[in-house]
């Protein structure tokens, strides 16, 4: 009888464990020391917008898909126009085309997966797929930061040292700056991905985000992540604080130079050449800083998700909109491309 009772308890325990693991969306437990019977995670589930009803998710899908298509088409148009129109073969537009290409790759890494999660919230994502998405997201996100810094330096040279502009901003220098930006992005992405996916993920597998990002993944690790959080903060500071500081110094020098221009028309024209870049810089660095530089104690996954929507969906659209609608040279190039006369100066 004792033996039968013991076997019955063992069977009941096994059934309870089986029911626990077949639950469609278990909530992740807090990180802790790995338990002996824990199984390594091979797939993740993106929580995304699963707490919304299907009607709301359908609206989100339509809005995000529209913004995504507008971003892709806008960036493709900018790159094509700059490539075809010889009037735009200057350092400023070279960096703009590189930024458009980088933004395109950045959105392709994030938004298709987000759209898929909106339609199918319980669709699993392999660990390798999650690591790949994080790698490309970080590579092109960091690349964007340093490309914006290079564009700020280009504006500084154009306004503060115009007589030597063609010498300083030669084709070789532009290629080196663009290559350096991409190289930094690749290096930092390798460090982050290696750091995060070197951690053990035991039972918790629901990522509280709509894509694979560093902080939500660290919350799932079943070991102490203090070192990884320090690495994440140092990398974030290097790729945000350093570029922001360089851009800030550039614009301090630019504004001081512009204010010395005697002609009001000259000052207006000089400010106009910087306005588009400055607008993109403020939105880009502002959103990224709020997400990645604030202390962990003040981190709210819901708030981070909302800001991430702006950072991953709306900000990439800002680039083609700002640089096409506010830039006279780009508008004239578009008119020449479609066979119409350019705008009168």
Is residue 212 a contact partner of residue 134, using CB atoms and an 8 Å limit?
A: yes
Choose from 4-18, 66-80, 325-339 the range with maximum mean pLDDT: 66-80
- Smallest Cα–Cα separation from 308: which of 49, 27, 28? 49
Delimit the domains of the chain by residue range: 40-295+302-335
Sheet holding 206-207, edge to edge: 124-126, 43-46, 206-207
Q: Is the dihedral of CA 70, 75, 78, 84 positive or negative?
A: negative
pLDDT at site 186? 95
pLDDT at site 138? 94
Interval 146-161: pLDDT, tens: 999 999 999 999 988 9
Q: What are phi and psi of 211, to 5 degrees?
A: -155, 170
Interval 168-218: pLDDT, tens: 999 999 999 999 999 999 999 999 999 999 888 887 788 888 888 888 898
When pLDDT is cut at 50, 70 and 90, the band that residue 326 belongs to is: low
Q: Which residues pair with 43 in a beta bridge?
A: 126
pLDDT at site 314? 82
Rounded mean pLDDT of 95-110?
92
Asked if pLDDT for residue 277 goes beyond 90, the answer is: no
Interval 30-39: pLDDT, tens: 443 444 444 5
Q: Which fold has domain 40-295+302-335?
A: Rhopdopsin 7-helix transmembrane proteins (1.20.1070)
Decide which of 333 and 65 is more confident: 65
C-alpha angle 62-66-68 in degrees, rounded to nearest 5: 115
Is residue 279 a contact partner of residue 327, using CB atoms and an 8 Å limit?
A: no
């Amino acid at each position: 009888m004792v033996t039968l009772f013991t076997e019955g308890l063992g069977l009941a325990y096994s059934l309870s464990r089986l029911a626990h693991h077949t639950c469609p969306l278990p909530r992740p437990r807090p990180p802790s020391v790995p338990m002996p019977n824990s199984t390594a995670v091979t797939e993740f589930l993106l929580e995304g917008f699963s707490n919304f009803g299907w009607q709301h998710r359908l609206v989100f899908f339509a809005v995000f898909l529209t913004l995504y298509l507008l971003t892709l088409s806008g960036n493709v148009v900018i790159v094509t126009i700059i490539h075809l129109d010889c009037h735009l073969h200057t350092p400023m537009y070279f960096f703009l085309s590189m930024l458009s290409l980088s933004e395109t790759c950045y959105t392709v890494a994030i938004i298709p997966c987000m759209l898929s999660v909106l339609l199918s919230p319980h669709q699993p994502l392999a660990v390798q797929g999650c690591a790949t998405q994080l790698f490309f997201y970080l590579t092109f996100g960091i690349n964007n930061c340093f490309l914006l810094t290079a564009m700020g330096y280009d504006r500084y040279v154009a306004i503060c040292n115009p007589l030597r502009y063609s010498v300083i901003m030669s084709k070789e220098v532009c290629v080196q700056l663009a290559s350096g930006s991409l190289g930094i992005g690749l290096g930092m992405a390798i460090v982050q991905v290696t750091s995060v996916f070197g951690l053990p993920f035991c039972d918790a597998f629901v990522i509280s985000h709509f894509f694979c990002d560093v902080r939500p993944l660290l919350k799932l690790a079943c070991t102490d992540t203090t070192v990884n959080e320090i690495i994440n903060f140092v990398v974030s500071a290097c790729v945000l604080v350093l570029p922001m500081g360089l851009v800030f110094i550039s614009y301090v020098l630019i504004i001081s130079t512009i204010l010395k221009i005697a002609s009001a028309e000259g000052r207006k024209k000089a400010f106009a050449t910087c306005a588009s870049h400055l607008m993109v810089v403020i939105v880009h660095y502002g959103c990224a800083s709020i997400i990645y530089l604030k202390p962990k104690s003040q981190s709210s996954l819901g708030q981070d998700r909302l800001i991430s929507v702006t950072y991953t969906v709306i900000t990439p659209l800002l680039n083609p909109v700002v640089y096409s609608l506010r830039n006279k040279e780009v508008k004239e190039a578009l008119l020449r491309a479609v066979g119409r006369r350019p705008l009168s100066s």
